[in-house]
A and B are shown apart, each in its own frame.
Chain A
Amino acid sequence: MTLLRQTDYSYEDLGKLMTLMTGDEKHSFSATSTLDVVWTLYDSVMNVDSSRPDDPARDRFLLSKGHGPMAYYAVLAAKGFLTTDQLKSWGGFDSILGYHPDGELIPGVELGTGSLGHGLGIGVGMMMGLRLRKQDKPRVFCLMGDAELDEGSNHEAIAVAARFGLEQLTAIVIDNTSASYDWPGGIASRFENEGWSSATIDGRNREDIKTALTQSHPGVPHVVVAKVEAK
């Protein structure tokens, strides 16, 4: 009998899990910009359980940028949402794991993303829904890239999330300096000007990531800008 799901993986196993997808032994998994943030979220911040992926009380994670999802898939496998066999099928016709994720196919994945600039607006709507249901515990985390902020749709959402006072909404911007043009004054200021709380941190320091993702910010949404090495 095959053990289908294994959940006793550690951070150190993520490289091995990612290799199941890439097949590249030399692939430097630590270079994946989202790895430390996504691991920290699933390991020590979010209330999620692979045995109850649709629990209404769960925290919601939205991989808005959708790109480079191997780290995400590896974390999902480490936390019991995916099997190693499913990782090996990555990108195949019958696989549930594509180069951009499809929430209709993967248990525990909320959205189908890949076209930039969709996650935060949906996240605002999910928060409004949770508010209507008087659910004040679940949080919504929306992970974006610094270049993804080029999309104007994000700025519609940034403004309104603050006006609506969506305290349980957290945006995470992985900043690997990949935007074609810089953001004078910094990325965090785009959110702060609209009334968000912010933290700009080293996106490789998992203690700092956890601190930034769990700090108090009463009445306003929160953005964590996680700086990593330039792409």
Chain B
Amino acid sequence: MPATMREAFIESTGRMLESNPDSVVVLADIGVSQFRDAGHFKYSGLEDKFAERFINVGIREQLMVGVAAGLAKEGFRPLVHSYTPFLLERPYEQIKIDFAHLGLGGIFVSVGASFDTASSGRTHQAPGDVGLLKLLPDFDIHIPGHADEAAVLLDHATSGEGRVYVRLSEDTNAVARPVEPGKFHVERRGSLGAPAVIAVGPMLDRVLEATADLDVTVLYATTVMLFDGWTLRDTGATEVVLVEPYLLGTSASEVSGALHDRPHRLLSLGVRNMELRKYGKPEDHIRAHGLDADSLRDSISRFLSLR
């Protein structure tokens, strides 16, 4: 079992390269060393073993995405990878045109999440990543909350054909859930019609702690595009709390869409859209954005008291 999502990523990439001769990895320096010196991992030295199918273009992210699209055009299944801002934000138009507009498929895998490298500052943080990709058609978006879930979702992405984004993070839940791509997992069922709390990826453990003694249904989301509105509807909830590890409200429109015929209230919790200008550790940022268990409990209780 992989200890971290990064380890799961290296292992899954190894399985992809071994099983699919048309798979290829395109990098812009970031990630090269981990694939080269994967050390004690089962799949060490991937870059040597599959040298032809590792293409490093140097620190050129627009080219990384363009080259990946050219490979997809020639029938390959490209995987591109970098820190979140350099994978998605810097080459955003290449993703829009070279992949979405040209109708090509590929796998985008990020590390860094919203603030895994909190001490690196804003330049290495991209809490808007999922919101940005949501603006492009037909992107599947997966947010694993555990290394084992990352393995499942990455294997699903590499064996498929479309455009897929997998957002890896160092923040994880203690125990993996039996995730199924495209489906919410019902973590805890409250009474019929009880408020539904949707915990996305690594937010689950804090949500469970915050809601331990509340009559709520907790849904665990590891795929947010497509958004599993049916499972949400089936709870009968008319009060929904959405807890996301990136910009708050990113999937709010999907919640409203799923409940369009049902009067409902929605509270969105997540990373606030602001220049925080703080360093420190990820847990400091979790607290600063009100996403630690105590803050979540306060926010959710206040919301539920407004009946």
Contact = CB atoms under 8 A, between A and B. Distances in A.
Interface stretch (B96-104, B138-146, B221-229, B279-287): B96-104
B268 interface: no
B168 interface: no
A125 interface: yes
A111 interface: yes
A98 interface: no
A199 B58 CA distance: 28
Interface string B44-76: 000000001101011010110111111111111
Interface in A9-51: none
A160 B24 contact: no
B71 A118 contact: no
Given A121-B70, A129-B73, A160 B97 contact: no
Interface string A152-191: 1100110110000000000000000000000000000000
A126 B94 contact: no
A132 B53 contact: yes
Nearest to B101: A112
Contact of A115 (B26, B58, B63, B93): B93
A153 B70 CA distance: 15
Interface residues of B, number: 30
A174 B78 CA distance: 31
B99 to A, nearest CB: 10
A124 B179 CA distance: 38
Q: Is the interface of B mostly helix, strand, loop or mixed?
A: helix
A25 to B, nearest CB: 35
A118 to B, nearest CB: 6
Nearest to B100: A112
A215 B22 CA distance: 32
A129 to B, nearest CB: 3
Contacts of B97: 112-113, 115, 118
A133 interface: yes
B101 A156 contact: no
Contacts of A125: 26, 66-74, 78
A123 interface: yes
A130 interface: yes
B73 A156 contact: no
A103 interface: yes
Chain A contact residues, majority secondary structure? helix
B98 A128 contact: no
Contact of A129 (B58, B63, B65, B71): B71
Interface string B81-115: 00000000000011001100111000000000000
A128 B68 CA distance: 10
A127 B70 contact: yes
Contacts of B62: 117, 121, 152-153, 156
Of A117, A122, A132, A153, which is in contact with the most chain B CB atoms at under 10 Å from its CB?
A122
Nearest to B93: A115
A104 interface: yes
Contacts of B65: 121
Given A104-B102, A118-B97, A121-B94, A128 B70 contact: yes
B74 A133 contact: yes
A202 interface: no
Contacts of A150: none
Contact of A128 (B67, B75, B94, B101): B67
Contacts of B78: 125
Q: Which of B58, B63, B76, B93 has most A Cβ within 10 Å?
A: B63
A120 B71 CA distance: 13
Contacts of B55: 128
Contact of A153 (B63, B69, B101): B63
Contacts of B57: 156, 160
A127 B55 CA distance: 12
Interface in A209-227: none
A191 B55 CA distance: 21
Of listed A118, A128, A130, residue having the most chain B CB within 10 A:
A128
B102 A111 contact: yes
Contact of B66 (A112, A122, A130): A122
Q: Which of A112, A125, A133 is the most central at the interface, judged by chain B CB atoms within 10 Å of its CB?
A: A125
A173 B58 CA distance: 25
A102 B94 CA distance: 15
B102 A126 contact: no
Q: What 9 pairs across the A-B complex have the smallest Cβ distances?
A: A125-B70, A121-B66, A129-B74, A125-B67, A156-B60, A156-B63, A126-B70, A153-B62, A122-B70
7 contacts: A120-B66, A122-B70, A122-B98, A124-B66, A128-B71, A156-B57, A159-B58
